[in-house]
Amino acid sequence: MKIVMLGAPGAGKGTQAKMIAAKYGIPHISTGDIFRANIKNGTELGEKAKQYMDQGLLVPDELTLALIMDRFAKDDCANGYVLDGFPRTIAQAEALTESLKAQNDALDMAIDVDVPDEDIIERMGGRRACVACGGTFHVLFNPPRVSGKCDLCGGELSIRKDDLPETVKKRLMVYHEQTQPLIDYYKAEGILRTVDGTKDVNEVFAEITALFE
């Protein structure tokens, strides 16, 4: 079961990826986790990635793909994986397809967690984070017991810059320009499946698990 998760920022694909990984006993692989693990372990690829990250530069596609293929070779990926956050562009998707093909391998499914932009803006605009402990809440879906105060430590809650409507709109614009074309790419490959991400988290998960049966 080799899966890639697609969806706009705030669509909930990361949450669903973790749930799939837990249910089916396969690793949830995100590029951020791979970078951190390789840098921490001082691997050759990690050292190369760190050089770019320390300068505030994006890690080149070729190096990111090398790190991902190295991760796929680990024993815990024997029964599959859930890939989250890569590919983000057509060039990355094509390179991933070719790298897998070179090993007589391929993805089984690309799952698009579909949520309209206006829903995402509402979702992310309602998020609040504790400045003290990092606890997260939502004014509609998971409100704190006392408005503006963290349930966990009593600290002040604030809206993160990433969640401001103007920032969310910019992130969505980038997503539609760069990442949305992946939906057409994987549709052409015949492995795209779309689920309704506007539903409750558990309902979305039930829709996803039904795809595997």
DSSP track, 120-174 = HHHHHHTEEEETTT--EEETTTB--SSTTB-TTT-PBEE--GGGSHHHHHHHHHH
Query: Residue 138's beta-bridge partner residues?
Result: 127, 142
Rounded CA-CA distance 173/64 in Å is 23
Give the H/E segment covering residue 5. Answer: strand 2-6
Catalytic annotation, residues: 13, 88, 127, 160, 171
